[in-house]
Amino acid sequence: MSNSPEAAEPSLYERLGGVYSIADVVDDFIDRIMDDPQLNANPKVDEAHHRVSRAGFKYLVTEMVCWATGGPQQYTGRSMKDSHQDLDITAAEWQVFLNDFQQTLDKFDVPDAERQELFAIVDSTKADIVIG
Ligand code: HEM
């Protein structure tokens, strides 16, 4: 058929390997940020990191990344603004967070194209997370 559609471009979710691969990456990254002394130097972040369950936090972030990359999951947690606005996260802390993210992506050998798309997604949330 001359009109048959081209095969659809695989979503970022599919290119990352779906929920099992994404959950592995989130597992490493959340351990990294929850244990990062530079982030826990912010007393509000330190308090929240020790109040919430690590497994629950990983669950919500996995859900969110799957949803944001085009997977079938729905994100059921609070908005980025609601969950971060009282934490007083500075631009310097945001850089530390991005550096931790980079280290996780290095560990899992995430290719450049996928890495850039993930950074674009992360960057799109900055205004809701960092104090202005
Ligand atoms: C793209 C960037 C980020 C994403 C996608 C993200 C994602 C999330 C999600 C899904 C939650 C759970 C929301 C809920 O409880 O319903 C959360 C909470 C939290 N995030 Fe982030 N986050 C980001 C950046 C940051 C940064 C830079 C920090 C600073 C270290 C941070 C620290 C926290 C803390 C401490 C909580 C727990 C808040 C509480 O329950 O009181 N997050 N985040």
Domain span including residue 69 = 13-129
Tokens of 81: 């603004």
In a domain, 1, yes or no: no
In a domain, 72, yes or no: yes
Mutate to test the pocket of ligand 1, among 31, 84, 95, 128 (most ligand atoms within 8 A of CB): 84
Q: Tell me the CA distances in angstroms from 117 to 51, 57, 71, one per residue in order.
A: 31, 23, 14
How many angstroms separate the alpha carbon of residue 115 from the centre of ligand 1? 20
To 10 degrees, what angle do helices 112-123 and 91-107 make? 150
Give the CATH number of the domain where residue 74 resides: 1.10.490.10
Domain count, the chain: 1
In a domain, 48, yes or no: yes
What pTM did the predictor assign?
Answer: 0.92
Give residue-wise pLDDT tens across range 78-121.
999 999 999 999 999 999 999 999 999 999 999 999 999 999 99
Q: Which atom of ligand 1 is nearest to the CA of 68?
A: 5
Taking residue 95's Cβ as centre, other Cβ atoms within 10 Å add up to 12
The verdict on the CB of residue 59 being under 6 Å from ligand 1 is no
Largest Cα span, the chain:
63
In a domain, 28, yes or no: yes
In a domain, 74, yes or no: yes
In a domain, 125, yes or no: yes
